[in-house]
Amino acid sequence: AVWRSYVVHELAHAAIHLSCVSTCPRRAVHEYVAAVAQYSSLPADLRADLVGRFGDVAPWGSEAEISDTYYAVDPERFAVKSYLHYRQPQAGPEFVHRLIHGGDR
């Protein structure tokens, strides 16, 4: 299941590239979306175990916190923060769309 989730992660990157019209989003946006796709593809019990290993990690507090630097420093925590953030009421698919496309819809 974990290996399959890595495939999902990479396919998410490919999907973002296909959706780019003029420019692609920054790396942190790519990694946010890929992490959400990866964690969402895991069986619930395995996902809970993996997220639970980072019990001190909270969702992103704001979009400004989702940075290339944080990803470079700790990609595992970045992924967990991203998945937890995506699950928040203010996030979800609309938030991802805005991240990728800059808010136009």
66 Cβ contact partners less than 8 Å away, ≥ 6 residues apart? 28, 29, 32, 60, 82, 85, 99
Per-residue pLDDT band for 21 (boundaries 50, 70, 90) equals low
pLDDT of residue 105: 39
Residue with tokens 């136009």: 104
End-to-end CA distance of the chain: 34
pLDDT exceeds cutoff 60 at 83: yes
Model's pTM, two decimal places? 0.90
pLDDT of residue 38: 98
103 vs 105: CA distance, rounded Å: 6
Reported as a single tens digit per residue, the pLDDT across 85-98 is 999 999 999 999 88
pLDDT exceeds cutoff 80 at 56: yes
10 Cβ contact partners less than 8 Å away, ≥ 6 residues apart? 34
The beta-strand segments (E) located in 1-105 are none
Per-residue pLDDT band for 48 (boundaries 50, 70, 90) equals very high
